C-alpha cells in the first residue's frame, strides 16, 4: 500500500517530458554496484492489517489506564487530559503544517505559539519564553549553553544539585562534553538531606550556572531565594528546573530571583506515551534573550494594519549563525506547545488550581497513611508537593515486584541512582489516584512479607 | 511584563486567549477531593497571583479552530518546501499512535509490562538498519539536528578513544544546512567550508586539499541541498577516510534513496534519519520530529544509551525478553527517557510496515520523477543553475534579468495561487534560491497547475512587478513588519488592566 | 555609498579613524546587513586588542556578523549607546554609530577610502 496518486499512463507521460525511458533511469548517478539493493523487510501490509498488527502490539503492554494503578512519576506524570486537547491537535491545519516561515499563511501556528509563550511566562513569572525545546532535560542542557555564551567561556564551572533529576544530569554531561567544564555538587558523597544552602559553598568566581530543581527530584519544596542571592553575589546565574503543575500553587521561581526557568511541560496536557514526545519549556529574563536558543515568536503588524505574529530574532539561530550559533536546534515541539496551550486555556486558572490542589492533598494523604505502616516512613521532613521518598523495610526493587503482582506500579526505585537510598521508593500521586487506590496501596503494603 | 504596543492601534483579527478571558468562566473542572484536607505549605512558599485565562470550553474550541484556519497545511494543498519533505501524512498513523496501550505507558515501567513498545522499537531499529545499511541504530534523538549532535559526539568520542586528539576540523560543503556547522560548533570544532563544483558535486580538488590528520570527518548531505546526487561519491568518501576522517551523512534527503542505495554501503559511518520527513511523521507546525541515528560497525560502541535489545533470548515457547542495553563506550544520554516514541516511532513503524520493500522504492522513484517533471516544465522560464537529472528536489533562481523581482516576491505571489511557496534563500550558494521538493504524494494535475502558476508569475514579473512586490493579496494576512517585531520585541501577551485583581 | 576620505577600512568592513581612534562599520556593511537589531560589544575599556580580533557581534533582521578590530592598541572607550539603540549603526554609521575607540592604535591591514570604494564595487553582484 502506498500513497502515490499517479497512474501508469500519467507516469509514462511524465517520464517522456523528463526525457528518460524508465523510473530506474533516473538514478544513473548512483554507483552501479550499490544501486537498487534488495531490502530484507516484511511484505507490505494493507491499512486493515497494519491497524490489527499495531493494535496487537499495543495490547501486549500493561497500561496505567486499563491495567495498572500507578504511583510512578519521576519526571513523567499521569494527569487527566480534557478531550478538547486532542480534538484541536487532530486538526490537519495544525499538525500537517511546517514551521511558520511564511507568516502570511501561518498565523494559526504563530498566534498559538505566541499564546503558549505568554502562558509560560505568566506561569513561571519570567519575562520571555521561547517556542519550546525537545524536553525538560535538553532544556536544562540549553541553559548551560546560554550561561556559557553569556560569560563567553570565561567562567567554566557549573554546580548541579544532587536532587536534580538523574537523567537531566546525565544529559547535561552528554551535551557539555566539548566544553571542558568543571562540574560540582552531585558527587556520590553529596548530602541529600542538606538544604539548598549546602550548594552555596561550591559557587565561586568561576561558576557560570547553578542548576536546582523545584520541587526537587524527591518532591521537596524549598525557597531558593537565599541560595540565588548568594550565587548572584558571586556573579553566577541560576537556573531552576520546575514542575509546571507545582508552579500553579507555589511561589514563582521569578520571585526567588531565578535567571532561567526550564522544565518538562508534559504534565500540561501531554500523554505519557512511553516517554515522548514531551515538551521542554525555557523561560528567562529579557536581558538574556539574545543568548537563548530556539525559536521565538513576536508580535507585529502586517501591511494591512492587522496585528500579527512572526518568528523574530532569527539571526541568533543556526540557519543564519551556523557554527557560531549557541545551539543547533531547528525542529522543536511545536504541536505539543499547542497542546499545552489548549490544556491551560481549557482548565484555566480555576481548573489548574484544582489539579494542583488535588495532587497536593492526595499525595499528603498517601504519605501520611503509608508512613503509618510498620517499617515504612518518610525519608525527608521538608514540605513536598505531589511526590515523596518513602523508606521501605526491604529494597525498593523487591517492593515494586511485590506491588506489580497486585497490579500496582509502586514508584521509582531511588536505589538505581542513589546507593544510599536502596530501600527508598519515590512515590507520585496525582488527581488520577482515587482515595480507594491509595487505600489499596496501603493495604497491600501492610500485607507484605 | 510587556506593555501593549501594536495592540492599541492595529486591527485585531483574532483576540488572544487572554483577551477572550472573563473572570469566573470555567472550562473543564475537576472532581472534588475524596481525601481529608491538609494544610497547604507555609504561605511564604505559595504564589500570590496566577494570571491565567478563564474561558468556557466552547470559547477555547472556537478560538483554536479559527486560528487553525489561518494556517496553510499539507491537508490544504501542495507544499513543495524544499529540504522539508512535506509529504501527505497518512491518517491511520494518527490512530495507531494513539492506541491506549501506547498512550498510557509510563517510560519507567518495568520492561516486562511494556514488551509491546520494546518490540516495536527493536524492530524499527532493525528496519532502519536494513534500509540504510548500518550496523546499529539509536532511536533516542528528538529531531534531525539532535541526531546530528549525537553523531558528531560519537565521531569525537571515536577519535578520542584512539588517542587521536589533534582532530578538530569538520569539513562541510557550502550547500549544507545550518544545523551541520552548528552541530560541529557545539563541540568547539572548527568548520572548513568545502565548495561545490559547477555540476553541484563536492569540489574534489578543494576536498583533497583540506584532508589531513586534523580532520574529524565530513558532514555531507547526499543528495545535497541542490537535489544533486554526488557523481563522485565514492571518491569523496575515500578521500575523507584515507586521511582518517569519518563520514557523516545528513539523512534529511533520504526520501530520494529508499530502495535506491544504502548510505552504509557507500561507506558512510553515521547518518541521522528525519522520521518527520522520510517516514511521514507530521511536522506539527514546527515539531515534534524524530531523528534516529545509524552507525557503521566502528561506531557501535559509542551509541547513546540506552538502546533497545534482547536481554533474555527466546527459550522454547517463550518469546525473547526485550529491554534496555548500554553500549560499552556510550557517549551517554541525549534526552530523558527513550526518544519520541508515540509521536515519532509508532507513526514511522506503521508507515514502513505498510510500504514494505517495494513500496519504499516506489516512494523514492516517484519523489524523483515528480521533481524532474517539474524541473522539465520550468526549464526555459526559470534559470536552473545546476541543470541535470535531479533527485527529489531541485533549485531554481527566483530572479529575472532586468527585473527587480526577487525570490521572496515570487514566493509571496504563489500564495495568491493557493500554493505554499518553495524554500527561499537556501541553499546559500544559489542567488535568490527557490528550492522545490514536490514529494511522491502529488499527482500530475497538481504539478501542472503549480508549473503553470510559476510560469504565469514569471510573466507578471515582466508586466506588473508591483503585483509581486505587494503580494500576497488574497491571504488573510499580508506581509509582516519584521523590523518592528525585532525592535519592539513583544514576546508575550500583555494582560488587560486589572486582569488578576480578584486573586 | 558613503565612504569618508579621512578613514581607513578593513576588508571585513570596519572603519578606523586614526585621528580619534574610533572604530565602526562602514555604510556599505550596514546596508548589506539591513536593519540591525542587536549589538554586543565584546571588549572592555582598558583591554588590549590586536588587529583582527573579534570586538563585537551584530545581528540584523536577516543576518549576523562579527566585527573585527581594524587596529591594535588599548580600548579607551566603548559606546554603550549602540547597544541600547542598535539602529544607530544604520542611521549614522560614521558618527553616533562608532563602537569603540582604540588608543595609540596602529592600523592593521587596512585600505584608504578610494581603495575601499573600489573593493566594494567589485563585490556587488
Ligand atoms: C538538510 C537538513 N539537515 C538538517 C535538518 C534539521 O532537521 P530538524 O529540523 O529535524 O532538526 C533539516 C531540516 O530542517 C534539513 O533540511
Report whether C62 contacts B408 (CB < 8 A): no
- Verify that A134 and A197 share a domain, yes or no: yes
How many contiguous H segments (helices) and E segments (strands) does chain A have?
Answer: 14, 15
- Give the ligand 1 atom nearest the CA of B176: 1
Quick one: which of A404, A379, A402 has its CA closest to A390? A379
Please report the pLDDT score of residue B426 as a whole number: 87
Report whether A277 contacts B342 (CB < 8 A): yes
Quick one: which of B465, B416, B450 has its CA closest to A102? B416
Averaged pLDDT of chain B: 95
pLDDT at B425 over 50: yes
Q: How confident is the model at residue B493 (pLDDT cuts 50, 70, 90)?
A: confident
Report whether B224 contacts B394 (CB < 8 A): no
- Verify that A305 and A358 share a domain, yes or no: no
Report whether A306 contacts B13 (CB < 8 A): yes
Distance from C-alpha of A185 to C-alpha of A202, rounded to nearest angstrom:
7
Average pLDDT of the residues in A214-227:
98
A59, part of any domain = no
Question: For ligand 1, is residue B179 a contact (CB within 6 Å)?
Answer: yes
Please report the pLDDT score of residue B132 as a whole number: 98
Least confident residue range of A184-198, C23-37, C61-75 = A184-198
Distance from C-alpha of B408 to C-alpha of A117, rounded to nearest angstrom:
28
Determine the distance in angstroms separating the CA of B483 from the nearest CA of chain C, rounded to an integer: 6
The residues that bridge with C66 in the sheet, in sequence order, are C57
A437, part of any domain = yes
Average pLDDT of the residues in B60-89:
98
**pLDDT tens digits for range A227-241:** 999 999 999 999 999
Backbone angles phi, psi at A125, to 5 degrees: 85, 0
Distance from C-alpha of B410 to C-alpha of A394, rounded to nearest angstrom:
70
- pTM to 2 decimal places: 0.97
The count of C-alpha atoms lying within 13 angstroms of the C-alpha of A123, restricted to the half-sphere facing its C-beta, is 32
Please report the pLDDT score of residue C122 as a whole number: 86
Choosing among B486, B488, B489, B490, which should be mutated to test the C contact, i.e. which has the most C CBs within 10 A? B486
pLDDT at A284 over 90: yes
In CATH, what number is assigned to the domain containing residue A113?
3.40.640.10
Distance from C-alpha of A129 to C-alpha of A261, rounded to nearest angstrom:
9
The C-alpha cell of B224 is what?
Answer: 545535497
**pLDDT tens digits for range B29-47:** 999 999 999 999 999 999 9
Distance from C-alpha of A91 to C-alpha of B73, rounded to nearest angstrom:
10
How many domains are there within chain A? 2
Beta strands in A215-365 (DSSP E): 237-242, 260-264, 280-284, 297-301, 307-311
Please report the pLDDT score of residue A43 as a whole number: 97
Report whether A267 contacts A245 (CB < 8 A): yes
Ordered strands of the C48-49 beta sheet: C48-49, C71-78, C100-107, C22-25, C14-16, C8-10, C110-112
Which position has the grid cell 544509551?
A: B305
Distance from C-alpha of C103 to C-alpha of C18, rounded to nearest angstrom:
9
Determine the distance in angstroms separating the CA of B320 from the nearest CA of chain C, rounded to an integer: 54
- Verify that A433 and A324 share a domain, yes or no: no
Please report the pLDDT score of residue B498 as a whole number: 59
Question: For ligand 1, is residue A179 a contact (CB within 6 Å)?
Answer: no
Interface B-C: count of C-beta contacts within 8 A = 11
Q: How far is the CA of A338 from the centre of ligand 1 (A)?
A: 21
Comparing alpha-carbon positions, the chain C residue that sits nearest to B485 is C61
Structural domain of A250: 84-342
A19, part of any domain = no
Average pLDDT of the residues in A263-285:
98
C23, part of any domain = yes
Averaged pLDDT of chain C: 93
**pLDDT tens digits for range C39-55:** 999 999 999 999 999 99
Please report the pLDDT score of residue B3 as a whole number: 47
Determine the distance in angstroms separating the CA of A327 from the nearest CA of chain B, rounded to an integer: 7
Please report the pLDDT score of residue A351 as a whole number: 98
Please report the pLDDT score of residue B5 as a whole number: 52
Backbone angles phi, psi at B185, to 5 degrees: -60, -30
Quick one: which of A251, A215, A281 has its CA closest to A428? A215
Determine the distance in angstroms separating the CA of A332 from the nearest CA of chain C, rounded to an integer: 21
Average pLDDT of the residues in B447-463:
98
Quick one: which of B278, B264, B279 has its CA closest to B135? B264
Choosing among C64, C65, C67, C89, which should be mutated to test the A contact, i.e. which has the most A CBs within 10 A? C64
Q: What would the DSSP string read from start to end of A383-408?
A: -BSSEEEEE-SS-HHHHHHHHHHTTE
C contact chains, 3+ CB pairs < 8 A: A, B
Residue B103: partners with Cβ closer than 8 Å, 6 or more residues away? A63, A65, A271, A272, A273, B342
Distance from C-alpha of A426 to C-alpha of A387, rounded to nearest angstrom:
7
Distance from C-alpha of B60 to C-alpha of B66, rounded to nearest angstrom:
10
| Last residue of one domain, picked from the residues A327, A342, A357 | A342
Report whether B45 contacts A251 (CB < 8 A): yes
Is the preceding peptide bond at A56 cis, omega within 30 degrees of 0? Answer: no
Question: For ligand 1, is residue B177 a contact (CB within 6 Å)?
Answer: yes
C125 to chain B: which residues are within 8 Å by CB? 431
Please report the pLDDT score of residue A230 as a whole number: 98
Higher pLDDT, A195 or A29: A29
Secondary structure element (H or E) that encloses residue A129, with its range:
strand A128-129
C42, part of any domain = yes
SS3 B130: helix
Average pLDDT of the residues in B49-64:
97
**pLDDT tens digits for range A369-382:** 999 999 999 999 99
The residues that bridge with B388 in the sheet, in sequence order, are none
Residue B296: partners with Cβ closer than 8 Å, 6 or more residues away? B134, B135, B264, B268, B269, B270
- Give the ligand 1 atom nearest the CA of B146: 11
- Verify that A77 and A98 share a domain, yes or no: no
In CATH, what number is assigned to the domain containing residue C82?
2.40.50.100
**pLDDT tens digits for range B131-184:** 999 999 999 999 999 999 999 999 999 999 999 999 999 999 999 999 999 999
- Verify that A107 and A145 share a domain, yes or no: yes
Mutation to probe ligand 1, out of A99, A134, A331, A335 (largest number of atoms < 8 A from CB): A331
Please report the pLDDT score of residue B1 as a whole number: 40
Beta strands in B91-135 (DSSP E): none
**pLDDT tens digits for range B325-354:** 999 999 999 999 999 999 999 999 999 999
Q: How confident is the model at residue B503 (pLDDT cuts 50, 70, 90)?
A: very low
Average pLDDT of the residues in A50-65:
98
- Verify that A190 and A228 share a domain, yes or no: yes
The C-alpha cell of B203 is what?
Answer: 569540489
A7, part of any domain = no
A146 to chain C: which residues are within 8 Å by CB? none
Determine the distance in angstroms separating the CA of A202 from the nearest CA of chain B, rounded to an integer: 25
- Verify that A109 and A176 share a domain, yes or no: yes
| Last residue of one domain, picked from the residues A290, A310, A342 | A342
User: Is the CB of B431 less than 8 angstroms away from the CB of C125?
Assistant: yes
Comparing alpha-carbon positions, the chain C residue that sits nearest to B487 is C37
Q: How far is the CA of B132 from the centre of ligand 1 (A)?
A: 18
- Verify that A370 and A262 share a domain, yes or no: no
C125, part of any domain = no
Question: For ligand 1, is residue B250 a contact (CB within 6 Å)?
Answer: yes
Least confident residue range of A320-334, A345-359, B218-232 = A320-334
Average pLDDT of the residues in B406-419:
97
C81, part of any domain = yes
Average pLDDT of the residues in B432-455:
98
User: Is the CB of A304 less than 8 angstroms away from the CB of B344?
Assistant: no
Average pLDDT of the residues in A144-172:
96
pLDDT at B2 over 60: no
Distance from C-alpha of B18 to C-alpha of B113, rounded to nearest angstrom:
43
Average pLDDT of the residues in B68-76:
98
User: Is the CB of B353 less than 8 angstroms away from the CB of A117?
Assistant: no
A290 to chain C: which residues are within 8 Å by CB? 38, 40, 59
Under the phi-then-psi rule, with left for phi > 0, alpha for psi from -120 to 50, and beta for the rest, what region is C40? beta
Q: How far is the CA of B252 from the centre of ligand 1 (A)?
A: 6
User: Is the CB of B372 less than 8 angstroms away from the CB of A53?
Assistant: no
Q: How many CB atoms lie within 10 A of CB A230?
A: 18
Average pLDDT of the residues in B9-15:
93
Comparing alpha-carbon positions, the chain C residue that sits nearest to A325 is C64
Quick one: which of B362, B349, B348 has its CA closest to B258? B362
Please report the pLDDT score of residue A361 as a whole number: 98
Structural domain of C27: 8-120
| Last residue of one domain, picked from the residues A342, A368, A384 | A342
How many domains are there within chain C? 1
- Verify that A206 and A257 share a domain, yes or no: yes
Q: How many residues does chain A have?
A: 449
Q: In degrees to the nearest 10, what's the CA dihedral of B106, B112, B116, B120? A: 90
C2, part of any domain = no
pLDDT at B501 over 50: no
pLDDT at A2 over 90: no
Choosing among A25, A28, A29, A126, which should be mutated to test the B contact, i.e. which has the most B CBs within 10 A? A29
- Verify that A175 and A269 share a domain, yes or no: yes
Q: How many residues does chain B have?
A: 503
- Verify that A96 and A76 share a domain, yes or no: no
Identify the contact set of chain C against chain B, taking CB-CB distances under 8 A.
35, 37, 61, 87, 125
Distance from C-alpha of B21 to C-alpha of A20, rounded to nearest angstrom:
61
User: Is the CB of C59 less than 8 angstroms away from the CB of A152?
Assistant: no
Which position has the grid cell 547553578?
A: A210
Please report the pLDDT score of residue C124 as a whole number: 62
In CATH, what number is assigned to the domain containing residue A424?
3.90.1150.10
- Verify that A118 and A239 share a domain, yes or no: yes
Q: What would the DSSP string read from start to end of B281-323?
A: ---TTT------EEE-GGGGGGS-S-EEEEEE--BTTBPPEEE
Amino acid at each position: 500500500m502506498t500513497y502515490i496518486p499517479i497512474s501508469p499512463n500519467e507516469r509514462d507521460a511524465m517520464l517522456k517530458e523528463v526525457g528518460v525511458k524508465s523510473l530506474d533511469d533516473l538514478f544513473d548517478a548512483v554507483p552501479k554496484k550499490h544501486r537498487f539493493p534488495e531490502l530484507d523487510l516484511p511484505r507490505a501490509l494493507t491499512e486493515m492489517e497494519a491497524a490489527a498488527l499495531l493494535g496487537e502490539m499495543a495490547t501486549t503492554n500493561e497500561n496505567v489506564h486499563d491495567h495498572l494503578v500507578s504511583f510512578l512519576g519521576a519526571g513523567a506524570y499521569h494527569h487527566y487530559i480534557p478531550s478538547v486537547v486532542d480534538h484541536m491537535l487532530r486538526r490537519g491545519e495544525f499538525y500537517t503544517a511546517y514551521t511558520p516561515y511564511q507568516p502570511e499563511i501561518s498565523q494559526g501556528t504563530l498566534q498559538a505559539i505566541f499564546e503558549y509563550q505568554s502562558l509560560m511566562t505568566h506561569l513561571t513569572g519570567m519575562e520571555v519564553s521561547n517556542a519550546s525545546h525537545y524536553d525538560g532535560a535538553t532544556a536544562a542542557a540549553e541553559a548551560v549553553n546560554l550561561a556559557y555564551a553569556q560569560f563567553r567561556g570565561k567562567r567554566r564551572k557549573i554546580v548541579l544539585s544532587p536532587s536534580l533529576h538523574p537523567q537531566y544530569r546525565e544529559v547535561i554531561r552528554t551535551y557539555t562534553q566539548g566544553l571542558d567544564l568543571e562540574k560540582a555538587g552531585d558527587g556520590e558523597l553529596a548530602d541529600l538531606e542538606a538544604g539548598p544552602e549546602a550548594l552555596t559553598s561550591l559557587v565561586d568566581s568561576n561558576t557560570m550556572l547553578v542548576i536546582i530543581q523545584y520541587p526537587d527530584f524527591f518532591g521537596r519544596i524549598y525557597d531558593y531565594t537565599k541560595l540565588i542571592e548568594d550565587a548572584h553575589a558571586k556573579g553566577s546565574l541560576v537556573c531552576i528546573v520546575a514542575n509546571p503543575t507545582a508552579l500553579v500553587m507555589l511561589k514563582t521561581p521569578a520571585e526567588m530571583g531565578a535567571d532561567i526557568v526550564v522544565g518538562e511541560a508534559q504534565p500540561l496536557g501531554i500523554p505519557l506515551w512511553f516517554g515522548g514526545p514531551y515538551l521542554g519549556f525555557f523561560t528567562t529574563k529579557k536581558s538574556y534573550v539574545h543568548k537563548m536558543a530556539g525559536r521565538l515568536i513576536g508580535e507585529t503588524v502586517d501591511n494591512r494594519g492587522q496585528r500579527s505574529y512572526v518568528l523574530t530574532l532569527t539571526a541568533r539561530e543556526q540557519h543564519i549563525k551556523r557554527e557560531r550559533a549557541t545551539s543547533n536546534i531547528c525542529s522543536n515541539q511545536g504541536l505539543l506547545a499547542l497542546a499545552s496551550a489548549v490544556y491551560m486555556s481549557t482548565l484555566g486558572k480555576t481548573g489548574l488550581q484544582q489539579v494542583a490542589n488535588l495532587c497536593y492533598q492526595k499525595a499528603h494523604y498517601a504519605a501520611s497513611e503509608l508512613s503509618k505502616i510498620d517499617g515504612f516512613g518518610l525519608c525527608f521532613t521538608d514540605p513536598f508537593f505531589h511526590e515523596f521518598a518513602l523508606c521501605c523495610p526491604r529494597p525498593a526493587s523487591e517492593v515494586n515486584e511485590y506491588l506489580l503482582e497486585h497490579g500496582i506500579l509502586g514508584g521509582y526505585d531511588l536505589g538505581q541512582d542513589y546507593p544510599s537510598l536502596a530501600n527508598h521508593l519515590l512515590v507520585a500521586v496525582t488527581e488520577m489516584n482515587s482515595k480507594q487506590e491509595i487505600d489499596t496501596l496501603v493495604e497491600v503494603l501492610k500485607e507484605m512479607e | 511584563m510587556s506593555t501593549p504596543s501594536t495592540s492599541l492601534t492595529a486591527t485585531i483579527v483574532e483576540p488572544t486567549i487572554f483577551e477572550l478571558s472573563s473572570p469566573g468562566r470555567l472550562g473543564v473542572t475537576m472532581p472534588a477531593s475524596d481525601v481529608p484536607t491538609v494544610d497547604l505549605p507555609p504561605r511564604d512558599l505559595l504564589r500570590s497571583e496566577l494570571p491565567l485565562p478563564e474561558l468556557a470550553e466552547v470559547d477555547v474550541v472556537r478560538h483554536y479552530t479559527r486560528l487553525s484556519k489561518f494556517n496553510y497545511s499539507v491537508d490544504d494543498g501542495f507544499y513543495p518546501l524544499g529540504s522539508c519533505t512535506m509529504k501527505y501524512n497518512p491518517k491511520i498513523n494518527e490512530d495507531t499512535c494513539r492506541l491506549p496501550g501506547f498512550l498510557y505507558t509510563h517510560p519507567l515501567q518495568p520492561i516486562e509490562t511494556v514488551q509491546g513498545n520494546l518490540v516495536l522499537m527493536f524492530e524499527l531499529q532493525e528496519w532502519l538498519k536494513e534500509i540504510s545499511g548500518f550496523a546499529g541504530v539509536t532511536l533516542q534523538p528528538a529531531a534531525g539536528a539532535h541526531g546530528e549532535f549525537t553523531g558528531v559526539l560519537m565521531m569525537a568520542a571515536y577519535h578520542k578513544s584512539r588517542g587521536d586528539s589533534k582532530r578538530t576540523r569538520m569539513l562541510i560543503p557550502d550547500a549544507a544546512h545550518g544545523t551541520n556547522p552548528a552541530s560541529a560548533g557545539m563541540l568547539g570544532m572548527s568548520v572548513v567550508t568545502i565548495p561545490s563544483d559547477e555540476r553541484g558535486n563536492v569540489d574534489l580538488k578543494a576536498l583533497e586539499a583540506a584532508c589531513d590528520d586534523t580532520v574529524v570527518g565530513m558532514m555531507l548531505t547526499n543528495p545535497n541541498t541542490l537535489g544533486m546526487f554526488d557523481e563522485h561519491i565514492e571518491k569523496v568518501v575515500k578521500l575523507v577516510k584515507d586521511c582518517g576522517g569519518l563520514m557523516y551523512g545528513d539523512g534529511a534527503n533520504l526520501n530520494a534513496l529508499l530502495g535506491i542505495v544504502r548510505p552504509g554501503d557507500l561507506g558512510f559511518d553515521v547518518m541521522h534519519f528525519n522520521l518527520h520527513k522520510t517516514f511521514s511523521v507530521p511536522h506539527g507546525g514546527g515539531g515534534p520530529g524524530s531523528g534516529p541515528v545509524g552507525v557503521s560497525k566502528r561506531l557501535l560502541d559509542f551509541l547513546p544509551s540506552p538502546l533497545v535489545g534482547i536481554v533474555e533470548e527466546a527459550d522454547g515457547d517463550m518469546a525473547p525478553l526485550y529491554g534496555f542495553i548500554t553500549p560499552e563506550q556510550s557517549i551517554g544520554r541525549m534526552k530523558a527517557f527513550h526518544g519520541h516514541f508515540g509521536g515519532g516511532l509508532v507513526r514511522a513503524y506503521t508507515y514502513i510496515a505498510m510500504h514494505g520493500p517495494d513500496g519504499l522504492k516506489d516512494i523514492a522513484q516517484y519523489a524523483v520523477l515528480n521533481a524532474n517533471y517539474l524541473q522539465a516544465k520550468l526549464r526555459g522560464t526559470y534559470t536552473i543553475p545546476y541543470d541535470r537529472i535531479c533527485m527529489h528536489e531541485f533549485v531554481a533562481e527566483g530572479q529575472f534579468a532586468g527585473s527587480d523581482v526577487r525570490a521572496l516576491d515570487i514566493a509571496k505571489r504563489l500564495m495568491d495561487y493557493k500554493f505554499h511557496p518553495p524554500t527561499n534563500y537556501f541553499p546559500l550558494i544559489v542567488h535568490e534560491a527557490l528550492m522545490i521538493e514536490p514529494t511522491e504524494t502529488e499527482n500530475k494535475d497538481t504539478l501542472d497547475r503549480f508549473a503553470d502558476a510559476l510560469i504565469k508569475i514569471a510573466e507578471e514579473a515582466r508586466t506588473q512587478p508591483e503585483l509581486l512586490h505587494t503580494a500576497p493579496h488574497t491571504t488573510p494576512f499580508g506581509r509582516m513588519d519584521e523590523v518592528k517585531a525585532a525592535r519592539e520585541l513583544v514576546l508575550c501577551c500583555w494582560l488587560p488592566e486589572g486582569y488578576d485583581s480578584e486573586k | 555609498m558613503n565612504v569618508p576620505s579621512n578613514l581607513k577600512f578593513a576588508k571585513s568592513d570596519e572603519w578606523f579613524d586614526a585621528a580619534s581612534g574610533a572604530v565602526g562599520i562602514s555604510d556599505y556593511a550596514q546596508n548589506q546587513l539591513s536593519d540591525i537589531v542587536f549589538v554586543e560589544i565584546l571588549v572592555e575599556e582598558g583591554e588590549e586588542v590586536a588587529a583582527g580580533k573579534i570586538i563585537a557581534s551584530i545581528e540584523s533582521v536577516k543576518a549576523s556578523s562579527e566585527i573585527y578590530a581594524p587596529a591594535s592598541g588599548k580600548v579607551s572607550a566603548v559606546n554603550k549607546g549602540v547597544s541600547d539603540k542598535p539602529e544607530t549603526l544604520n542611521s549614522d554609521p560614521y558618527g553616533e554609530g562608532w563602537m569603540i575607540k582604540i588608543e595609540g592604535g596602529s592600523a592593521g591591514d587596512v585600505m584608504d577610502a578610494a581603495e575601499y570604494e573600489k573593493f566594494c564595487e567589485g563585490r556587488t553582484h
